[in-house]
């Protein structure tokens, strides 16, 4: 008897053109995972007849539904399709400023400034929380092709933190330079929202069984960023139907991504306008809140309808001052931006999560012989003061992926 094993199970997916219609078999994507628990469930209807024999006479199956979770270790590009679907916007290439005259100077503490002689970072679309790189131009080797995290921004001055912690060299102006927001970005837009669905296949190669789950929409994305260990992602899917076969459906998938897994120790966190080093944990959830109701004459829900995209989370930090505590006590709105890189090389792959406007909902503290840790649950809100030509985005959350 052949028994299926998870080692030989493959998970593949492809974007659907029409909701619930499995797309052509070519050009799917093989997915790295820790776990994929997609399965079919059905509503059930037990008979409610009152009978003198005191026994139930029937039990029927009703509407079919797909539910499950894709769990993985967070790596650039790997889950970008699902993240884009959650925020209703495709990842798009970051902005760039070319032909600029750039001067590098030391700022306060470990920060540096990247000043342009003309033009405007704001007009060009750069934002606080972006990771940029300098390229083109006769820069010192310590300055070029290096991940630089923007922590403050004006029209001509970007204040940055170097992600790998290696100091830059003051120089400039360097003419003919290019400043680029690395990789691609997405965010919850104010209009033009996408409504995407996927078909996901579980192929049990050792058993010769295929299960294709169609009409799958991203119901939630959870990022978990512990102080030690791997950063993780969990993608909740809700779908319409399942098709089974003894032959593999997506036969020529694109190979799994090879980007490195992100670890929380490699990166920078900015909260309340300052880079801080006392955060002991962070989790962020994006919840698109789909809903759908059965209809007469069909055993599948005809569509899954979107609701408000709710973003929330929690971070923990050592109690080192009154600043974060008082943001709760005074109901003060703050910002939160975090970037995690794959390693400590100058141009390592990375992922950023930027929440320009959050409200903290608590500030409880633990107790014991060690350092006292505060817990801050928060709700993220649309940043009405952001937008085109402004240092922040008009959104609840934006994400930058170096490899998307």
pLDDT at 296 over 80: no
Which residue's structure tokens are 């993240």?
83
* Rounded Cα distance, 73 and 348, in Å: 17
% of the chain surpassing 90 pLDDT: 75
* Rounded Cα distance, 65 and 289, in Å: 16
Report the candidate in 395, 393, 396 with the shortest Cα–Cα distance to residue 95: 393
Which pLDDT value is given to residue 6? 87
pLDDT at 297 over 70: no
Both tokens of 220, joined, read: 């939630």
Of 66-70, 126-130, 268-272, 340-344, the range with the lowest mean pLDDT is 268-272
Q: Residues for the chain: how many in total?
A: 404
Distance of CA 102 to the CA centre of its chain: 32
Task: Classify the C-alpha dihedral 18-24-29-30 as positive or negative.
Answer: positive
153-204 residue pLDDT tens: 999 999 999 998 899 999 989 999 999 999 999 999 999 999 999 999 999 9
% of the chain surpassing 70 pLDDT: 98
Second-level CATH architecture of 95-182:
Beta Barrel (2.40)
Mean pLDDT of 14-33: 96
Distance of CA 268 to the CA centre of its chain: 16
Q: What is the DSSP letter of 8?
A: G
Please provide the distance, in angstroms rounded to a whole number, between the alpha carbons at the two ends of the chain: 42
Which pLDDT value is given to residue 380? 97
71-83 residue pLDDT tens: 999 999 999 999 9
131-149 residue pLDDT tens: 999 998 899 999 999 999 9
Which pLDDT value is given to residue 321? 84
Alpha-carbon radius of gyration of the chain? 24
* Rounded Cα distance, 238 and 160, in Å: 40
pLDDT at 274 over 80: no
Report the candidate in 310, 319, 288 with the shortest Cα–Cα distance to residue 381: 310
Which pLDDT value is given to residue 292? 73
Distance of CA 128 to the CA centre of its chain: 17
Mean pLDDT of 244-252: 96
Domain ranges across the chain: 64-89+187-401, 95-182
Q: How confident is the model at residue 302 (pLDDT cuts 50, 70, 90)?
A: confident
Say what the pTM is: 0.93
Which pLDDT value is given to residue 24? 97
Which pLDDT value is given to residue 272? 79
Which pLDDT value is given to residue 265? 64
Of 52-56, 188-192, 234-238, 278-282, the range with the lowest mean pLDDT is 278-282
- Spell 100-131 as b/e; 16+ CB within 10 A means b: bbbbbeeeeeeebbbbbeebebbebbbbbbbb
Q: What is the mean pLDDT of the chain?
A: 92
* Rounded Cα distance, 217 and 304, in Å: 8
As beta bridge partners, residue 373 has 318
Q: How confident is the model at residue 244 (pLDDT cuts 50, 70, 90)?
A: very high
324-353 residue pLDDT tens: 889 999 999 999 998 888 988 999 999 999
Cis? peptide before 173, omega within 30° of 0: yes
SS3 379: strand
Q: What is the DSSP letter of 6?
A: G
């Amino acid at each position: 008897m052949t028994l299926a094993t998870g080692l030989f199970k493959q998970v593949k997916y492809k974007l659907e053109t029409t909701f619930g219609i499995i797309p052509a078999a070519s050009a799917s994507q093989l997915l790295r995972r820790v776990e994929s628990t997609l399965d079919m469930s059905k509503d059930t209807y037990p008979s409610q007849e009152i009978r003198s024999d005191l026994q139930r006479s029937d039990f029927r199956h009703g509407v079919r539904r797909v539910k499950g979770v894709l769990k993985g270790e967070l790596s650039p590009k790997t889950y970008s399709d699902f993240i884009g679907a959650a925020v209703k916007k495709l990842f798009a290439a970051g902005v760039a400023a070319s032909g600029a005259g750039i001067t590098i100077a030391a700022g306060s503490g470990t920060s540096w400034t990247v000043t342009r002689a003309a033009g405007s970072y704001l007009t060009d679309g750069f934002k606080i929380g972006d990771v940029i790189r300098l390229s083109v131009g006769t820069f010192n080797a310590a300055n070029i092709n290096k991940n630089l995290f923007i922590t403050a921004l004006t029209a001509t001055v970007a204040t940055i933190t170097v992600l790998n912690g290696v100091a830059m060299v003051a120089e400039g102006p360097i003419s003919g330079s290019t400043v680029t927001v690395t990789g691609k970005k997405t965010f919850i837009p104010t209009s033009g929202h996408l409504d995407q669905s996927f078909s996901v296949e579980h192929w049990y190669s050792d058993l010769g069984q295929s299960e294709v789950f169609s009409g799958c929409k991203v119901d939630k994305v959870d990022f978990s960023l512990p102080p030690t260990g791997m950063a993780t992602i969990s993608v909740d899917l809700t779908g319409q139907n399942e098709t089974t076969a003894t032959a593999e459906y997506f036969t020529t998938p694109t190979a799994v991504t090879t980007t490195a897994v992100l670890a929380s120790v490699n990166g920078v966190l900015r909260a309340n306008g300052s880079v801080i080093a006392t955060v002991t944990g962070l989790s962020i959830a994006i919840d698109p809140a789909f809903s759908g109701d059965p209809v007469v004459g069909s055993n599948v829900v005809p569509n899954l309808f979107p609701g408000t995209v709710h973003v929330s989370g929690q971070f923990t930090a050592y109690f080192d001052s009154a600043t974060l505590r008082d943001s709760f006590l005074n109901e003060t709105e703050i910002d939160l931006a975090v970037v995690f890189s794959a390693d400590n090389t100058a141009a390592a792959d990375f992922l950023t999560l930027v929440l320009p406007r959050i409200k903290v909902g608590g500030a409880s503290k633990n107790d014991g012989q060690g350092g006292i840790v505060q817990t801050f649950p928060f709700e993220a809100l649309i940043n009405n003061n952001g937008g085109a030509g402004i240092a922040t985005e008009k959104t609840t959350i934006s994400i930058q992926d170096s490899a998307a």
